[in-house]
Amino acid sequence: MAKVLMNGNSAIGEAAIRAGCQCYFGYPITPQNELTEYMATHLSRKKGCTFIQAESEISAINMVYGASLAGVRAMTSSSSPGISLKQEGISYLAACELPAVIVNMTRGGPGLGSISAAQSDYFQATRGGGHGDYRTIVLAPSSVQELADLTYKAFDLSDKYRVPLVILGDGMLGQMIEPVEFSYEAPKEPIIRNNALRGAKGRTSRIVKTFTSNPATVEEINWSLFRRYQLIKQEEVVWDTFMVEDAQLIVVAFGIAARIAKGAIKSARIEGMKVGMLRPITLWPFPAEKVREVANRTNYFLVFEMNMGQMIEDVQLALEGAGEVSFYGRTGGVIPTPNEVLRVISRLYYQKGLK
């Protein structure tokens, strides 16, 4: 297929349909409306598919829960304030081992905040977000093309491990238009998982529930989830690197911030500074081992995020004191420029006496 121009939100919609997503439930919120609208136009009329604009995000995530019970691929999307509302539902999805894809086109917070791009929902996404002892897989794309590619992956991973999965984008990725190519064709037949609730025809009836009066049963559920999470940590860590081989200073950044940082690093290289980048693509599981590996080459890290410093804690945990970690962040929806990051890199480079 040839490249087409699309904004990030619509690209997720198209990729989701091609990944076999059959149900979409949403509630309007800027800056992700184009995704809801894309599904209203393109999914609603597909045979066997459902689009509902719910009366709230709480309802939307609960509709996803229902669709997932029925064994089909379902998704919802929102932006920060709406994702806060979905947390209750995500906790139930995790507890019931139900797959679901949840897109967060993050905006500035806390509160109503701003509608501009931010990364301040990192903690919420990577720590589970709702109540209880659970994790979600978190994917962090940094271009419209990657939004599409990671959307296919999202449905596969979520189904494979039966865990809810969060695509953590931001307002700018959602709004910007770039050329994108779709490599998948939508499946001819609907994808229906095993063990779905579709009537106890020819089998014993099934129950999906989380509440029990016996704490030991809940503990057992937690252990079973935990073993699966260990497996995900072993198998599914994804990252990208840029010019780390000879780097004296490593920038760690994800999503749109990584893209801005890459621009800064290219300029820094022209000025003779040996700077490289490690970009986590799965934020959970976090590429901790990779961080330790690059720490064998240099001691100096700069974590750059569009928040007040959240992923930095994962970098520090990974290093266990082995490196010196600095931080630079803009937040609230302020979009830093590559030049701004370059200035921070230069200052650090010389302060630390790197050559």
Ligand X SMILES: Cc1ncc(C[n+]2csc(CCOP(=O)(O)OP(=O)(O)O)c2C)c(N)n1
List of residues contacting ligand X (CB under 6 A): 27-29, 57, 81-82, 85, 112
Nearer to ligand X, 27 or 155 (CB): 27
Residue list 82-121, contact with other proteins (CB under 8 A): 112, 115
Least distance CB 29 / ligand X (angstroms): 4
Nearer to other proteins, 158 or 307 (CB): 307
Residue 332 is a binding residue for other proteins (CB under 8 A): no
The answer for residues whose C-beta is within 8 angstroms of residue 30's C-beta and 6 or more apart is 79, 107, 115, 171
Residue 185's nearest CA partner among 5, 15, 7 is 15
Least distance CB 107 / ligand X (angstroms): 10
Q: Is 239 exposed, middle or buried (0-12, 13-18, 19+ CB in 10 A)?
A: middle
| Binder among 19, 100, 264, 306 for other proteins (CB under 8 A) | 264
* Sheet arrangement for strand 300-305: 239-242, 275-280, 249-252, 300-305, 324-329
Least distance CB 60 / other proteins (angstroms): 10
Residue 297's nearest CA partner among 267, 323, 327, 273 is 323
Size of the site for other proteins (CB under 8 A): 37
Residue 335 is a binding residue for other proteins (CB under 8 A): yes
SS3 string, 185-209, reads: CCCCCCCCCCCCCCCCCCCCCCCCC
Cα torsion 130, 84, 92, 51 to 10°: value is -160
Nearer to ligand X, 28 or 179 (CB): 28
Least distance CB 292 / other proteins (angstroms): 28
- Helix (H, G, I), strand (E, B), or coil: what is residue 7? strand
Nearer to other proteins, 40 or 237 (CB): 40
d(CA 57, CA 89): 9
| Binder among 46, 81, 156, 354 for other proteins (CB under 8 A) | 81
Residue 233's nearest CA partner among 277, 282, 303, 281 is 282
Does the CA dihedral 39-40-46-51 come out positive or negative? positive
Residue list 59-78, contact with other proteins (CB under 8 A): none
* 151 and 167 Cβ atoms separated by less than 8 Å: yes
Residue 178 is a binding residue for other proteins (CB under 8 A): yes
Question: What x-and-dash track marks residues 199-238 binding other proteins by CB under 8 A?
Answer: ----------------------------------------
36 binding partner (options ligand X, other proteins, none; Cβ < 5 to 8 Å by kind): other proteins
DSSP 8-class letter at 271: T
Least distance CB 338 / other proteins (angstroms): 4
| Binder among 13, 20, 31, 128 for other proteins (CB under 8 A) | 31
Residue 53 is a binding residue for other proteins (CB under 8 A): yes
Least distance CB 296 / other proteins (angstroms): 28
The answer for residues whose C-beta is within 8 angstroms of residue 151's C-beta and 6 or more apart is 11, 12, 15, 16, 19, 101, 167
299 binding partner (options other proteins, ligand X, none; Cβ < 5 to 8 Å by kind): none
13 binding partner (options other proteins, ligand X, none; Cβ < 5 to 8 Å by kind): none
Nearer to ligand X, 29 or 261 (CB): 29
d(CA 168, CA 121): 8
Cα torsion 124, 51, 117, 18 to 10°: value is 90
* 31 and 3 Cβ atoms separated by less than 8 Å: no
According to DSSP H, which parts of the chain are helical? 8-18, 33-42, 57-69, 80-95, 122-126, 144-161, 171-175, 215-235, 255-270, 288-295, 311-319, 338-351
Least distance CB 115 / ligand X (angstroms): 9
Residue 263 is a binding residue for other proteins (CB under 8 A): yes
45 binding partner (options other proteins, ligand X, none; Cβ < 5 to 8 Å by kind): other proteins
**Interacting residue ranges for other proteins, rule: CB under 8 A:** 3, 5, 27-31, 33, 36-37, 40-41, 44-45, 53, 55-57, 81, 112, 115, 172, 175-179, 259-264, 266, 335, 337-338
